Structure 1
C-alpha cells in the first residue's frame, strides 16, 4: 500500500510541477552496491524498490525458507558488501533495497510495518542451504550495529539475521473477492501466504531440526513488566511502535510504545528516541491545562513506553468527519459555533506553549482532542503527541505525511506552529487538500465558498486569525518543489465558462506531454508500479489519451504522437508476451489499454491483447476497476463493435462467474473495504454489467440477478439521514457516509438512474426513498480532493446527470464552484490539477487533469467518461436507454 512517505522520491524534480523521477544528480540518493561479481554468471535487475541478484544456475523453488538481513542505516552499505561476498561465493540468489533514500523511507514511521527492516532478502535453494547460511550470516552481521526488528520474521540467535517461510515467486488467488498471496500445500492446494506483523508459518511446515535445536530466545522474565501496563486494546500501529489503552497504577491510560532503529524521522531519530524525548517535554509542560498529562515511563526489553492520561473525546479529524455540515441544505449553526470555539482555544494553547519555550511541531487535527459538553454547550480542547516538540528556534524539517498542515519553507519550529494554526483554522471551515502553493487569489476563491456556506463573519474571523499568524510566519508561499511560476487560472470554473475551462485543461496536459517519457505523461506515482502501469487508464497514458481523444485534440494527429504510439504498441506487446502476470483490468491493466488502442485505430493489436486478457479472467475480483466486471464490459463493447461471437461468449462466462461467486457467499464473507458496495471497486459495478448484458440480449436471468445484488447492496449499506438516503461505509471501524463516484452514493445513484431508463417501474417503486433522495440532489459543499473518482469533479458530473434525468439540480453549480478550491496554472492560460497529497500536480485520469477534463466534457457534451468505446450501444451513464440487440439470447 502506498502512503505519503512513498511520494518523497518523486517530488525533487523542481523543473516541472508534476510528480516524477528526479532529473538532478544532486538529488539522487546514495546507491547501494554489492561485492564484485562475474556478470556472465549473475542476472542483475534494478527496479525502483529492489536490486535483484539472481545466479544463472539457480532453479529456485516457488516457496521455501527465506532469510532477511536487517541493517542499521549507518552501516547498511558495509553490511551489504560483506553479506553479498558470502552469497556471491556460494552462488545464492538475493535482492536488496537499491539506495539509501528507499531504505530510509522503508524505515520511516508510516511505511509498511510488514516489510520494514528487510534490507537484504536471500533465497536458499533448499532447507539444507538455508540452515548452512544462518551462522555465517550471523558472524558477519554481529560485526555491525543492531538493525530494526523484523516483525513478521523470527530472529536467528537474536541477531540481525531473520527468517520466515513464504513464497519466492508471487502467486496469487482470489479469496472472498480479494487478491491474496498464496503458497502451495503438499497436496497441491493453495493457502494464503499470510503477510501479518508477527511470525507465522503454515501448518504443514515445521522449522528444520537444526533450527529447533540451536536457535536462542530472550528470557521470558524480560517481558514481565508488560503485565504492569494491563494493555486492553491497540488504538494504532506504526513502524515506531503501537499506541494502546491500558490501566497503570489505578489510572486509565494511553500507552505509547517506542521501537529502536525504526520509525525514522527526518533527523533519523527512531521511535525509541522520540518517546524518551516526548516524556521529558511533557514533564516540562505538565501544568499547561491543554496538554496531555504524563503519568509514567517504562523501558521493557528493547522498547520504551510512555504512559499518559486517557483523554475523553475524539480527534479533531474525527470530529470534522462526523459533524461537518457537508450537505448543501444542512444547518450550520451548531458546527459554526463549536468550530469558532475550537479555533479560539487553539490560538490560546499555541501562545501558552510558546511562552514555556516549546513548539508543538506535529500540529495537526489527529493530535487535537475534542470533548463536547452538549449540556453546557462548551468544547474542551487538548493536545496530544509531542514526539516532535522542541525549543521554539530549533531548525524545522517538515514531514510529507502531514503535508496539509506543513510549510516546507518554515525555518523554525515556532514559524511552523503559526503556519499550521492558520491552516487548521481554515480547514475546519473548508476541509480540502492543500495545493502546491498558496496565494491571495487562491484564498479569495476559497473564501467565496466559505462565505457561501458559513457567512461573511466566519471569513472575517479567519482573516483575524491569519493576521495574528502572519506576525510570526509567512502565510503566502511559493511551491517548495517547483522553481517555476504558479498562480490560479485566469478563468474560474463555472457553467458559463465550460468551453474555456476545457480548453485550459487540455492545454495543461498537451503543453506538458513529454515524448521522452515511457509513459508520455506525468501521472500519480503508482504509474511506476510495473512496466504496464505506465500505460493504464488509471494513472498512466491511456486514460489521458482517452480524455484528449474524446475532446478531438489535435495533438493525437501529429506524427510525433503517432510515432510514440507505434513504439508503445510494440512495448506493450513485448511486456504481455514475456510476463503473464500482468493486470488485465479496465482501469488498472491491459483491458482498458486495449480498448483505447482499438479506438485509436490499432484494432488488430487491441484484439490480440484482449485475447490475452480473456485467458486469465478466472483469477480476478468482481470489480469494474481491476476485475471481472471491467473485463466483461470490455468484451461486451468489442462484441458490439465487431459482432464476433467469442466476445459475447466470454462476457456471458464472466457474468455467470460473478453470479456463482455471489451465491456462493462471496458478498457475505468478504472483509470490509472502502468502496465494497460502490460502483468502481465494489458490487454496484456487477449490477450495471449484469443489467446491461441482460437488457442487451433480452435475458431476464441476468437482469434478475442484477436486481438481487442491488437489493443486497441497499439492505447492507443504505441508511436514512436528515437529508434522505445515503450509502454507508464501515471499512474504517466507524460508520461513514461517502458521496463519491467510486465508493459512495453518487456511483450507486448512477446505476439506479441507468436502470430506470430501461425499466422505470422497477426503480421508482422498489427504491422510492433512494429515488426521492437522488431527485433532491442534496450534494456536498466540498470534498477533500477535486479528482474524478473520489472528488469534486466526479460529483459535478453526477449532479449534471441528475439534471438531465429530472430537469433540475440543486448542487451542480456549487460543485463547479468548488473546483476552484484547487485549480492551478503555470501561465494563467492553462489549468493544472493537484495530485495526491497536493505537493505536486498530476495529468492522469484517476487523480489528475485528465479526470477533471473528462468530467467537464461529459457535462458539456455528454461525452462518455468510462474507458469503453465511444458511442457504444450500451449507453452506460449517458442518460439514454440500452440499445437492445435484434438477435435474441
Structure 2
C-alpha cells in the first residue's frame, strides 16, 4: 500500500480542526477543499481578478477564537474567504522556518468591492483588538501587532512560467486594467497606480513609526547584505563600526510560533545565545558580541566565520579532513554535556581545518530533563511523531546523514518512522553505492560506523568519535554483520501493487488532473512529461477515456510546444499506440485518431530537436508506419526528415558541455532519428549525415569523461534529457541498428560513468536515476559484455522508498521531497522504469528495439 497515492499528502487529511472550520457554515457559502485550503465562496458572487484583500494571522492558542470571530464578520458582510484546512497546514504556515512570502497567512478574505473591504477591516480590527499575532510580511499590519493585515493583490491566480529564471511568476491586475508582476517581496509595497484605500482622518489604522534611538545598539553596526529571510527572523552579514570587523546579525520576530508546545522565534534565539555563552570555551563555536531588543524584535550579534558551509562540494581530496573535523566538533559538544538537536549540513561552516556549529537554536543540556523534539529537517532524523525526545544518539544519526550528503552531493532518502529501520536502509544503500562507485566506499564506511552507533544498545560515549578510530575505518573499512541485505524480488513484488491504486483518479475537463510541479502546470495536459499521455500510457488506461482527451486537443496548441513529443499532443499518439498494442482499439481507429492529431499541428516555425520539435514528431510517425505496416504517414515523414537533415550546425570539439549534443535538445537525438529515417527510406544521405554528427558527439563525450574521471557535481550531466544517459541511449541503439558496423568509443565508458554517478542524483525519468536505469537496461539486453551491476542499481533505487515495517511506499519525484505523479519527473516514471527493468519489459514511449531492427 502507498498512503501517498494518488497524491494523498499528509496535509490532506481531515482532523478535528477541519470539522470545526466547516461547522455551522451559512448556506450562502459553497465549501470547496483543496490540498491546503478550505474555500468558503459566497454563492453566485463574482469577484474581481485583483483588488484589496485581507489576511488574518493568529497564534496557535488563539486560532479557534480568531476564526469564530472572523467567520461571523465575513458572513455578515457576504465576504468570501479561505482558511488553512487543518492543524498540519496551520503549523506549516506558521513554522518559524518558512519563507516570508507565505508565512502566517492563516485566513485570506476577498471583499467584493472597496467599500466592503473597508467595513470588514474595521470590524475585524475592533473585534480582534485583544489578540496579538505575528506579522504577514507582504501586508500592512494594523497597530499593536494586530491579527488584521492587508494588501493589494490577485484574487484569482494569474501566472506564467519564466523559462530563463525557471520559476513561476505571479501577476495582478491594476485598477487601470494593466497586468503587472505580483512580486510578493518581504515587506508591504503599494503598487504604482493603486490608491491607499483609507482616508487621512482614519488614524486608528496608522502604525506609529518605529524610530531607532541614538542609544540603540543597532547603531553600532552597518548592514551589508541579507543572507537569509525566514518567518522567525533575518540573518544579516554586517560590520562592527568601531573595529571594521564583519559580524553576523540575527533577528527574532515577535509571536512567531506554530504550536502551543513548540518554541517561539524569540525563545529559539534566546536559547542559542545562552548555548553560545555556555560553550564559549570551545573553539568550534562563534563568539557572541551582543544581544539586545529593539522595537520588540530581538537581535544577536556574533563573529563572522568566513568559511564554506557543509552544503558545499569539497571534492575527494579534502573530504576526509572535513569529516574528521565535523566528528571532532560533535564529539567536543557531546563531551561538554549537550545535545545539538538539529545536526544538518547547513548548520556547520568549515574553515582552516575546523568545523564550526553556527546554529544552536535547538541545543540543549544533556541532563535528567528530557526535551521534546519540536522541529526536524527532513531525512536528518526519521519521520518521528513529536512524542520523541532529543538525544545524543539522534545527533549521531544526523552526523551519518551529513557524511553521506558530503560524499554523494545529495541528502540520502529513506522511508522510515523509526531509527532502526532507517539505519538498516541507509547502510544497505551505502553498501550498494560503494559497489557502484568504490571511491565512495571509505567515506561511506565512516557513515555506516556512525549510523550503527546511533542504534547500538551499549551506552554511547563521545570517545566513539575520536580521530584515530575514524582514520582506521577510512583505512581498513567497516562492516556491520547485524544489518541484513534486502531482497530485490521482495521489494518488487510489493511495488507491483501500486499501479492498481493509481487507476482510481478521475479526470475533470479544464482542470489539472493531479498535483504536478509548477512547470507542469504550464504545458499541455496531453503531454507525456506532465500530462495524461504519460500517465494513461504508463497505467494502460482503457479507450473509454479517449473522447475526453479529444476535447482538449485544440487547447493543447495554445501551450508553447503544445504539439511536441514530450510536452504536447504528439504524446497522445503514444497513448493511442499503447491502446492499440493492448488491443483496446483497432488499426483503423489508431490511424484515424492519429491523423486528427497530426492535422491539429499548427503551421509554424519550430525547433528540430527530439523533445520539443520535428525529430520527436518524425520518430512518432515512423513508429505508426511500422505498426500499421503501410505508408500512411510517409509523405509527412519524409518532409520532417528533410528538416532534420538541414538542422545541424558546427560544434566546438573542445567543449565538455553537452548542451549542443544531448539527446533531448541536441544533435544525438536528431541524428538518431535521422539514421532511423535513412534506414526506412533507404536514404544514404540521411544515414551518412547522422553518422557524421554522432561521431562528433562521441569525440566530445570521450574527452569530457577523460577529464572528469571521478563524477559530475552537476546532476543534469547524468540525465536522459541533457546528459550522458540520453547520449548513451542513442549511441547504443545506433550500434544495434547498424549491426555493429558503427561503434562508439565512449559508450562503454558512459555506462560505467553512469553507474558511478547513479547514487548522486534523485529519482525520476527525465532528469534522474530512471533515465540511467533505462539506458543501462537496454545496453545489457544486447551486449555480451553487459554491465553486471544492474540489480544493484535497481535495489538502491527501491531502498529510497520502501518502509520495511509498514510495507508502505513513499515514491518521490525529482525534488527528492515531493510526490508529483507525472511520468517525466514524478512517481509514475519511477514505477514504470523500475518495473520494466525487473520484468525485462519495454519502455512504452520508445520504439521497441526489435521493431527498429526490422528497418
- TM-score w.r.t. structure 2 length? 0.71
Which of 401-410 and 160-169 deviates more? 401-410
The residue aligned with 1:602 is 543
Match of 1:798 among 755, 759, 775: 775
CA drift of 1:231 comes to 1.9
Determine which structure has greater relative contact order: mean sequence separation of CA pairs < 8 Å that are 6+ residues apart, divided by chain length. 1
Kindly indicate whether the alpha-carbon contact (under 8 Å) linking 1:111 and 1:239 is maintained by their aligned counterparts in 2: yes
Cα distance in 2 between the residues matched to 1:831 and 1:21? 14
Cα distance in 2 between the residues matched to 1:86 and 1:248? 50
Cα distance in 1 between the residues matched to 2:178 and 2:736? 45
CA drift of 1:161 comes to 1.8
Map of 1:807-818 to 2, 5 A cutoff?
A: 813=790, 815-816=793-794, 818=796
Kindly indicate whether the alpha-carbon contact (under 8 Å) linking 2:33 and 2:85 is maintained by their aligned counterparts in 1: yes
Cα distance in 2 between the residues matched to 1:538 and 1:509? 25
Cα distance in 1 between the residues matched to 2:103 and 2:363? 25
Map of 1:304-343 to 2, 5 A cutoff?
A: 304-319=298-313, 322-323=314-315, 334=317, 338-339=319-320, 341-343=321-323
The residue aligned with 2:696 is none
Cα distance in 2 between the residues matched to 1:800 and 1:459? 26
Cα distance in 2 between the residues matched to 1:619 and 1:212? 50
CA drift of 1:75 comes to 0.9
Measured at CA, do residues 619 and 803 of structure 1 come closer, stay the same or move farther in structure 2, by a change above 3 Å?
Answer: same
Report whether the alignment pairs 1:238 with 2:225.
no
CA drift of 1:361 comes to 0.9
CA drift of 1:387 comes to 0.7
Match of 1:646 among 575, 596, 599: 596
The residue aligned with 1:443 is 427
Match of 1:160 among 147, 154, 160: 147
Match of 1:79 among 34, 50, 66: 66
Report whether the alignment pairs 1:133 with 2:120.
yes
CA drift of 1:277 comes to 1.7
CA drift of 1:37 comes to 4.7
Which of 361-370 and 640-649 deviates more? 640-649
Map of 1:135-214 to 2, 5 A cutoff?
A: 135-144=122-131, 146-157=132-143, 159-176=146-163, 179-184=168-173, 190-208=179-197, 210=199, 214=203
Cα distance in 2 between the residues matched to 1:73 and 1:877? 57
Kindly indicate whether the alpha-carbon contact (under 8 Å) linking 2:725 and 2:771 is maintained by their aligned counterparts in 1: no
CA drift of 1:233 comes to 2.0
The residue aligned with 1:723 is 705
Report whether the alignment pairs 1:352 with 2:332.
yes
Cα distance in 1 between the residues matched to 2:120 and 2:12? 40
SS of equivalent residue, structure 1 residue 255: strand
Map of 1:726-737 to 2, 5 A cutoff?
A: 736-737=714-715
Map of 1:509-658 to 2, 5 A cutoff?
A: 509-510=496-497, 519=505, 533-534=513-514, 583-593=525-535, 599-603=540-544, 605-620=545-560, 629-634=567-572, 638=576, 641-644=590-593, 645-653=595-603, 656=604
SS of equivalent residue, structure 1 residue 307: strand
CA drift of 1:98 comes to 2.8
The residue aligned with 1:33 is 21
Kindly indicate whether the alpha-carbon contact (under 8 Å) linking 1:801 and 1:879 is maintained by their aligned counterparts in 2: no
CA drift of 1:116 comes to 1.7
Cα distance in 2 between the residues matched to 1:777 and 1:580? 34
Cα distance in 1 between the residues matched to 2:720 and 2:219? 45
Report whether the alignment pairs 1:703 with 2:644.
yes
CA drift of 1:389 comes to 0.8
Cα distance in 2 between the residues matched to 1:709 and 1:586? 31
CA drift of 1:865 comes to 3.3
CA drift of 1:21 comes to 5.2
Map of 1:419-438 to 2, 5 A cutoff?
A: 419-425=397-403, 428-429=406-407, 432-436=412-416, 437-438=421-422
Which of 690-699 and 299-308 deviates more? 690-699
Measured at CA, do residues 217 and 38 of structure 1 come closer, stay the same or move farther in structure 2, by a change above 3 Å?
Answer: closer
| RMSD over aligned Cα atoms | 5.2
Measured at CA, do residues 472 and 418 of structure 1 come closer, stay the same or move farther in structure 2, by a change above 3 Å?
Answer: farther
The residue aligned with 1:277 is 271
Kindly indicate whether the alpha-carbon contact (under 8 Å) linking 1:183 and 1:192 is maintained by their aligned counterparts in 2: yes
Measured at CA, do residues 877 and 269 of structure 1 come closer, stay the same or move farther in structure 2, by a change above 3 Å?
Answer: farther
Measured at CA, do residues 456 and 789 of structure 1 come closer, stay the same or move farther in structure 2, by a change above 3 Å?
Answer: closer
Measured at CA, do residues 463 and 89 of structure 1 come closer, stay the same or move farther in structure 2, by a change above 3 Å?
Answer: closer
Report whether the alignment pairs 1:741 with 2:686.
no
Report whether the alignment pairs 1:118 with 2:105.
yes
SS of equivalent residue, structure 2 residue 270: helix
Kindly indicate whether the alpha-carbon contact (under 8 Å) linking 2:95 and 2:258 is maintained by their aligned counterparts in 1: yes
Kindly indicate whether the alpha-carbon contact (under 8 Å) linking 1:407 and 1:416 is maintained by their aligned counterparts in 2: no
Match of 1:366 among 334, 343, 346: 346
Map of 1:412-423 to 2, 5 A cutoff?
A: 412-423=390-401
Kindly indicate whether the alpha-carbon contact (under 8 Å) linking 2:364 and 2:371 is maintained by their aligned counterparts in 1: no
Residues 437-463 of structure 1: per-residue CA shift (max 9 Å, x gap): 236587356335436615886676556
Q: Which runs of 5+ in 1 are unaligned?
A: 1-9, 325-333, 374-378, 475-486, 494-499, 521-526, 540-578, 663-678, 869-874, 885-889
Cα distance in 2 between the residues matched to 1:223 and 1:388? 32
Kindly indicate whether the alpha-carbon contact (under 8 Å) linking 1:723 and 1:778 is maintained by their aligned counterparts in 2: no
The residue aligned with 1:219 is 209
Cα distance in 2 between the residues matched to 1:710 and 1:630? 29
Measured at CA, do residues 353 and 878 of structure 1 come closer, stay the same or move farther in structure 2, by a change above 3 Å?
Answer: same
Kindly indicate whether the alpha-carbon contact (under 8 Å) linking 1:257 and 1:303 is maintained by their aligned counterparts in 2: yes
Match of 1:294 among 288, 296, 303: 288
The residue aligned with 2:246 is 252
Measured at CA, do residues 776 and 246 of structure 1 come closer, stay the same or move farther in structure 2, by a change above 3 Å?
Answer: same
Measured at CA, do residues 592 and 725 of structure 1 come closer, stay the same or move farther in structure 2, by a change above 3 Å?
Answer: farther
- Equivalenced residue count is 737
Match of 1:386 among 337, 348, 360: 360
Kindly indicate whether the alpha-carbon contact (under 8 Å) linking 2:11 and 2:36 is maintained by their aligned counterparts in 1: no
SS of equivalent residue, structure 1 residue 403: coil
CA drift of 1:832 comes to 5.3
Cα distance in 2 between the residues matched to 1:191 and 1:791? 36
CA drift of 1:657 comes to 7.0
- TM-score w.r.t. structure 1 length? 0.69
Kindly indicate whether the alpha-carbon contact (under 8 Å) linking 1:805 and 1:879 is maintained by their aligned counterparts in 2: no
SS of equivalent residue, structure 1 residue 402: coil
Measured at CA, do residues 751 and 815 of structure 1 come closer, stay the same or move farther in structure 2, by a change above 3 Å?
Answer: closer
Kindly indicate whether the alpha-carbon contact (under 8 Å) linking 2:57 and 2:106 is maintained by their aligned counterparts in 1: yes
The residue aligned with 2:673 is none
SS of equivalent residue, structure 1 residue 191: strand
Kindly indicate whether the alpha-carbon contact (under 8 Å) linking 1:231 and 1:247 is maintained by their aligned counterparts in 2: yes
Measured at CA, do residues 742 and 638 of structure 1 come closer, stay the same or move farther in structure 2, by a change above 3 Å?
Answer: same
SS of equivalent residue, structure 1 residue 235: strand
Structure with the greater alpha carbon radius of gyration? 2
SS of equivalent residue, structure 1 residue 205: coil
Kindly indicate whether the alpha-carbon contact (under 8 Å) linking 2:349 and 2:358 is maintained by their aligned counterparts in 1: yes
Cα distance in 2 between the residues matched to 1:239 and 1:583? 35
Which of 151-160 and 285-294 deviates more? 151-160
SS of equivalent residue, structure 1 residue 194: coil
Match of 2:30 among 36, 40, 43: 43
